[in-house]
Structure 1
Amino acid sequence: MALSIVSCRLPSGDTPVCGVTLEPYVVVRRGETNTTATADEVPEEGSGDSRYCLRFRVDSRKSFHCSTDCLKQHWSLHRDLHSQRRLAGQPDNGYLSESSFKVSNTYSNGGETWIEVGKTRLLTPTAEDVGSVLKCEVVAIDSASPYTEIGKSFSVPTARVRPAPSPPKRNLVAITPPKHIVAAGKFTALTYNLLADLYATAEQFSYCQPWVLAWGYRKQNLLKELLGYRADILCLQEVQSNHFHDFLAPELQKHGYTAIYKKKTTEIYTGNSYAIDGCATFFRRDRFALVKKYEVEFNKAALSLSDNIQPDQKKAALNRLLKDNVALIAVLEALDPPHPEATAAGRRQLICIANTHIHANPELNDVKLWQVHTLLKGLEKIAASADIPMLVAGDFNSVPGSAAHSLLVKRSVEPNHPELHNDPLGILRPASKLQHQLPLASAYAAMAETRDPDPIVQKQRRRMDLKHHEPKFTNVSKDFKGTLDYILYTTDSLVPTATLELPEDSEVKPRPNSGLPNEHWSSDHIALLAEFHYRAPN
């Protein structure tokens, strides 16, 4: 039965970017029937549907047409195609016509000169391609005679190749502490929610062009940004498991980092496969060595807590408390200890790094507070076993002034805090139990509290929420702008001496009804980074 090419598209849209690999996605028709798969239903085996999806994985002369299994395998791309057409107000007929890919100029065989740049299944545009138009040509091949072309080739011209992604330029802004409290040793720590690819959908970020959301683009930009900060410790959230193993870990290892990873406890179906994200902590192996790792699964704590709940409420309690959030705790040893006298006495300089991603649902503030409290009680046990500086960093999905934020920075929650009224399971009562003994403070609060008259410092203070001593925002979307991410430290052992500068509103939301990510900022969060000195011994 004859094959014909119906359409060809690039998962990142028609805008190629230098350094971002292109892999065309092709739809073919078998026979003359007009039966098509819909956006809402993937055809089952033997259903009689005759349009199939194909990844162009090999040289065009060795390419092949596939079955309904292939459509199932690559359904997420096909589904996104429908979503993009609906969002653009275009007819949603299950595939794109060739004219959908045309750029402003008209190309003809007779009047244009094309230079072949590759005949492999993938193409990565180089700096030489910037400013040029690319054209992808696909042709169907008879599987019984693999060197016989069937029908006409299908050509997809692109827009002009864009330069390589350029992450935002942000500098450290110094905070001058009293000299007598600071020891010689210092290090930098960063927290950053990367926006896992499984959440970067056209529906969620309708204001983004497809190429801005494509992981092939974002991963290169995020890597450049991370390497540009040169942080000694990286606490990353929403790190998709396959992207950690296939890209982030090997790439950062090349630049001197060691990695540990804790994935969440529930996989998410993305349309063609299951995916899962988690927390990843990286540290420079010339600065630190891993002593011990702890993994926190809040689900396990929820199961333990449910044993104390009335049997008739247990099902509802588990339904509310069982979330897939995790925390990753690392105890590191500093390889360049700040106190020579302690080293001479045989004492090691340890530091504890807690990296977490707290539950996001704004209707479940009781669950967020319970998760934060559970994490802090675990850290208290570590602190009781050793005199050790601590950093607690991550995406807490809690705004400044919330109960969870108050617990972190004030060590307790006021009994009349409005969020305590939403406690259907009674897990927050009495309010007096919501406390801890860790002397935590926000690193960015030091910037808000400084009286340094330096104009650069004062410029940063204007970008702070001076009521709560936090940045005005760390997360920006079309419908939300606020702070959800924090770096906290123990005040009896560490002193913040610099923080990464905060962006202006116009940098992250240049137009109404827009937000992050965009072509420069490749996550819906911004990175926070602080420099710390060890506090001098008394």
Structure 2
Amino acid sequence: MYESRGQRHAITDQCPGSIPVLSVSSNGQWESARSRENSSRKECRDKERDRYGDGGKYAGRHSELKDRATCLTQNSTDRSRTPHPGNGINRDGTPRPVKGAWGQGRHRHPQHPLARTPTRPLQRNWEVCPVLRPPGGAMFEFSVLSYNILSQELLHRNASLYKHCHSRALPWEYRLPNLLAEIRHYNADILCLQEVQADHYEKQIKPALQEMGYQCEYKKRTGPNLDGCAVVFKPSRLSFLSAHPVEYFRSGIPPLDRDNVGLILLLQPVPTDCVQSDPSDFICVANTHLLYNPQRGDVKLAQLAVLLAEINRLSRLPGGSVNPVVMCGDLNSTPWSPLYSFLTTGFLEYQGIPVDRVSGQNSAPRGQRLLTAPLWSQRLGVDTHCLYDTNAQQQFHNYTTTTRPCRYYTTVPPLCDTTTPIIHTGAVSSQMTSDRPRIDHSLNLRSSYQHLLAHNGTPEVTTWNSTVDYILYTPPDAGTCSHLPDSRGLELLGRLSLVGKSELKAVRHLPNQHHSSDHLPLLARFRLHR
């Protein structure tokens, strides 16, 4: 029973699944209609709260609210009258969102929380690369994925960068299943992950990856930072030899005053019936996340020199030959920048380069500070060839790395020979006659990507506006290192295509409903001739 203005009204009709419809007198018609709408809204709130919980995952369904509004309209006493526009009902009978944030127990947006985001993910295809060396003999093929998965702590700390994103796509509870689904879909043999938050790694990421058949190694950033780098691999395909975390922070040694890190693993292909294990036959896999600050190119070059020195030490064999290297990571540098050129050409004449142009991140550099010699202090123990100084090598190694041998071996096979000099040949040695200050390295690194889209020649992007993520490898031709046998080089078989700026703009950038990081994963497949 219901009362309005002192008059008692009986229920004469009822719409199934909706509030009761009343017959009212003419002088009480307007107030009764408003009362019915208030009751409708209250019942909607109560049922939604009972069904989804107060602030549940999808608090409010468009179809259900619209059906209730339509039912109310059709069963009103004066059917020609438009329902009174309350907080939840428009004049056309459709539900209207109530002001207020999601998750506070009120009516939510009537549509799916991610309805405004794209309905389709980015289209990425597999690109087959031309093979220069025909298959033959003992071979081992493997795939590598590099992925900056966006630490949740960094997302919160830099929330202003993600205002363009739908708020429902940002919580870790939504992003984690998407990230794990991507990793499971690509099914790579080796994963190099950056911005892996330590607590999420231990409690969620590591157990999930172990269930997928992976073995995980992790290095947290130094200082108060909560994220780090992880290298993950399938022990069914690769045997673990040793792990070597690298810390870039050096107290009192400028410019190494930042808490970035790297992680290097030595992995050996699992023996097969046709190919037996060789202790010297391994792959050196390096993963790193260099400093972001576009104004500090000097720091990035010094961090890179430390990583290259450790890669050189670990990949070299006693006879002077070098095993293949895969170097992944978020280098916070764009293609064809001075830092990228240093990696891919083997040298950099740095004198006079503006510090804020080293990484290529600044479209309009404004700094006046220039790179000058020397780039780092001799106390670092790394020379201009990105090799350890003989006297300082052991001290530096003890300070920066921890070697953990595989439990299946009682000893670690010999990894380096500090007495064997590295011989520079080819393009690098021809340039070393110059008197201009330079740095160089002996690795012949090549990018797995061309950095231009094949169909239109526009730049590829791995994040919002540029490419900063890479998978670098040592190819068979060994250009700058004469003692690297062809058999120890890696052959690029294919890669997962990237997209351009326009494609990212079309999906409202990253993260979004389908892509739960602000970076895109890179995936490449290699062949190792053994």
Whether the 8 Å CA contact 2:262–2:287 is kept in 1: the answer is yes
Give the distance between the partners of 1:199 and 1:254, measured in 2 at CA. Answer: 27
Aligned residues: 362
The one-letter amino acid paired with 1:114 is K
Whether the 8 Å CA contact 2:449–2:495 is kept in 1: the answer is yes
Q: CA deviation at 1:171?
A: 3.3
Is 1:385 the counterpart of 2:390 in the alignment? no
SS in 2 for 1:158: coil
Is 1:177 the counterpart of 2:131 in the alignment? yes
Whether the 8 Å CA contact 2:351–2:437 is kept in 1: the answer is no
Whether the 8 Å CA contact 1:167–1:224 is kept in 2: the answer is no
Counterpart position of 1:222: 179
Counterpart position of 1:290: 240
The one-letter amino acid paired with 2:449 is Y
SS in 1 for 2:506: coil
Counterpart position of 2:264: 329
Give the distance between the partners of 2:326 and 2:518, measured in 1 at CA. Answer: 23
Task: Go from structure 1 to structure 2 and tell me whether the alpha carbon gap of 1:167 and 1:287 turns closer, same or farther (over 3 Å shift).
Answer: farther
SS in 2 for 1:461: coil
Q: CA deviation at 1:422?
A: 2.4
Give the distance between the partners of 1:130 and 1:294, measured in 2 at CA. Answer: 54
Whether the 8 Å CA contact 1:366–1:422 is kept in 2: the answer is no
Give the distance between the partners of 1:199 and 1:367, measured in 2 at CA. Answer: 21
Whether the 8 Å CA contact 2:269–2:282 is kept in 1: the answer is yes
The one-letter amino acid paired with 2:501 is D
Whether the 8 Å CA contact 2:147–2:193 is kept in 1: the answer is yes
Q: CA deviation at 1:282?
A: 1.0
The one-letter amino acid paired with 1:225 is E
Counterpart position of 2:518: 524
Counterpart position of 1:411: 346
Which one of the candidate residues 38, 41, 45 is aligned to 1:108?
Answer: 41
The one-letter amino acid paired with 1:397 is N
Counterpart position of 1:198: 153
Whether the 8 Å CA contact 1:463–1:472 is kept in 2: the answer is no
Whether the 8 Å CA contact 1:358–1:371 is kept in 2: the answer is yes
The one-letter amino acid paired with 1:281 is V
Whether the 8 Å CA contact 1:167–1:221 is kept in 2: the answer is no
Q: Deviations over 1:2-51 (max 9, x none)?
A: xxxxxxxxxxxxxxxxxxxxxxxxxxxxxxxxxxxxxxxxxxxxxxxxxx
Counterpart position of 2:463: 475
Counterpart position of 1:502: 498
Counterpart position of 1:249: 206
Counterpart position of 2:227: 277
Is 1:372 the counterpart of 2:297 in the alignment? no
The two structures have a TM-score, normalised by structure 2, of: 0.61
Give the distance between the partners of 1:368 and 1:443, measured in 2 at CA. Answer: 21
Task: Go from structure 1 to structure 2 and tell me whether the alpha carbon gap of 1:410 and 1:158 turns closer, same or farther (over 3 Å shift).
Answer: same
Q: Deviations over 1:162-221 (max 9, x none)?
A: 689986453321112124367632111011111111122432211112112211111121
Give the distance between the partners of 1:248 and 1:265, measured in 2 at CA. Answer: 20
Is 1:394 the counterpart of 2:329 in the alignment? yes
Give the distance between the partners of 2:210 and 2:288, measured in 1 at CA. Answer: 22
Give the distance between the partners of 2:440 and 2:142, measured in 1 at CA. Answer: 29
Q: CA deviation at 1:349?
A: 3.5
Give the distance between the partners of 2:39 and 2:375, measured in 1 at CA. Answer: 66
Whether the 8 Å CA contact 2:58–2:113 is kept in 1: the answer is no
Counterpart position of 1:262: 219
SS in 1 for 2:268: strand
Whether the 8 Å CA contact 2:291–2:300 is kept in 1: the answer is yes
The two structures have a TM-score, normalised by structure 1, of: 0.60
Give the distance between the partners of 2:349 and 2:500, measured in 1 at CA. Answer: 33
The one-letter amino acid paired with 2:134 is H
Counterpart position of 1:98: none
SS in 2 for 1:267: coil
Whether the 8 Å CA contact 1:191–1:528 is kept in 2: the answer is yes
Give the distance between the partners of 2:168 and 2:114, measured in 1 at CA. Answer: 13
SS in 2 for 1:204: helix
Counterpart position of 1:8: none
SS in 2 for 1:203: helix
The one-letter amino acid paired with 1:390 is V
The one-letter amino acid paired with 2:504 is V
Which one of the candidate residues 417, 437, 440 is aligned to 2:442?
Answer: 437
Taking only the aligned residue pairs, the percentage that are identical comes to 32
Q: CA deviation at 1:113?
A: 7.8
Give the distance between the partners of 1:368 and 1:162, measured in 2 at CA. Answer: 40
The one-letter amino acid paired with 2:527 is H
SS in 1 for 2:316: helix
**Rg larger in structure:** 2
Output the aligned Cα RMSD: 3.4
What is the 5 A alignment of 1:431-470? Answer: 432=437, 434-445=439-450, 460-462=453-455
Deviates more, 1:219-228 or 1:363-372: 219-228
Give the distance between the partners of 1:463 and 1:527, measured in 2 at CA. Answer: 21
The one-letter amino acid paired with 2:141 is K
Whether the 8 Å CA contact 2:206–2:216 is kept in 1: the answer is yes
Give the distance between the partners of 1:261 and 1:233, measured in 2 at CA. Answer: 13
Deviates more, 1:325-334 or 1:501-510: 501-510
Q: CA deviation at 1:388?
A: 1.8
Whether the 8 Å CA contact 2:220–2:229 is kept in 1: the answer is yes
Give the distance between the partners of 1:125 and 1:521, measured in 2 at CA. Answer: 20
Counterpart position of 1:491: 475
Deviates more, 1:328-337 or 1:430-439: 430-439
The one-letter amino acid paired with 2:41 is S
Give the distance between the partners of 2:62 and 2:145, measured in 1 at CA. Answer: 33
Q: Deviations over 1:463-501 (max 9, x none)?
A: 666xxxxx622120xxxx111111111113101110101
Name the structure where strand makes up a greater proportion of residues. Answer: 1
Is 1:212 the counterpart of 2:169 in the alignment? yes
Task: Go from structure 1 to structure 2 and tell me whether the alpha carbon gap of 1:329 and 1:107 turns closer, same or farther (over 3 Å shift).
Answer: farther
Is 1:422 the counterpart of 2:370 in the alignment? yes
The one-letter amino acid paired with 1:497 is L
Task: Go from structure 1 to structure 2 and tell me whether the alpha carbon gap of 1:209 and 1:520 turns closer, same or farther (over 3 Å shift).
Answer: same
The one-letter amino acid paired with 1:412 is F
The one-letter amino acid paired with 1:494 is L
SS in 1 for 2:42: coil
Unaligned runs of 5+ in 1: 1-104, 134-153, 269-275, 307-316, 449-459, 466-470
